[in-house]
Amino acid sequence: MGMVSATALRVRVTRLVFAGRDQAEIEAAGERYAADVLPGLLRPQMMERIAWHRERGDTLALVSGSLDAYLRPWCTRHGLDMICNRLESMDGRLTGRYLGGDRGRHKATDIRARYDLGLVPAHPRLWRQPRGPADAGPWRTSAGIAAGASPDRHGTGAR
């Protein structure tokens, strides 16, 4: 028996669970989950950091292989952009597929396409640019790119 990749498993489970389901029903369940369950799963320090970045005027984005059904309402509530798997629907019914395919492997590409990371300041407390494939330091994201605060309006990152 061979191993099944996380991506293949996620795609199969999504098809089994969501194919033919009413889109409005799943969106309502996602809203409830985002309001009632997610807040209890998140560390207060993370929410404080989000508030800190928001006060600085930084662009914030949640990047996940999870579903838009519950991430969209949470991100909207907290003012975050979102890159994630989106459930495809036709005529109010979910197809069981991802709109645009599974984003898991494409998160880094999606980030680069949406954000100009060349302007992100090199503040060592926020992020560290990987110097090569062996450099898997604590500030490297799972998408393999740097993440941090956006620059000020002059492009310097100074505040």
100 shares a domain with 37: yes
User: How many other C-beta atoms are found inside a 10 Å radius of the C-beta of residue 14?
Assistant: 20
Summarised one tens digit per residue, pLDDT across range 102-139 is: 888 888 888 888 887 775 555 444 444 444 444 333 33
- Identify the helix (H) or strand (E) that includes residue 61: strand 61-67
Whether 1 is covered by a domain: the verdict is no
Number of domains in the chain: 2
88 vs 146, more confident: 88
148 shares a domain with 106: no
pLDDT number for residue 121: 54
Mean pLDDT value across the chain: 78
- Domain residues for the domain of 73 are 6-115
130 shares a domain with 88: no
**Tokens at residue 133, please?**
């494939």
- CA 92 to CA 71: how far, in whole Å? 19
> Which of the four pLDDT bands, split at 50, 70 and 90, describes residue 17?
very high
Residue ranges in 19-146 assigned as alpha helix (H): 23-36, 38-41, 44-56, 68-78, 107-114
% of the chain at pLDDT higher than 90: 46
Hunting for tokens 């519950």 — which residue is that?
70
146 shares a domain with 77: no
* Spatial CB neighbours of 102, under 8 Å, sequence gap ≥ 6: 7, 10, 11, 65, 85
User: Which of 22-26, 65-69, 90-94 has the least mean pLDDT?
Assistant: 65-69
131 shares a domain with 79: no
Strand partners, 83: 63
Any idea of the CA torsion for 80, 111, 84, 100, to the nearest 10 degrees? Answer: 130
Checking if the pLDDT of 143 tops 70, the result is no
pTM of the complete model: 0.71
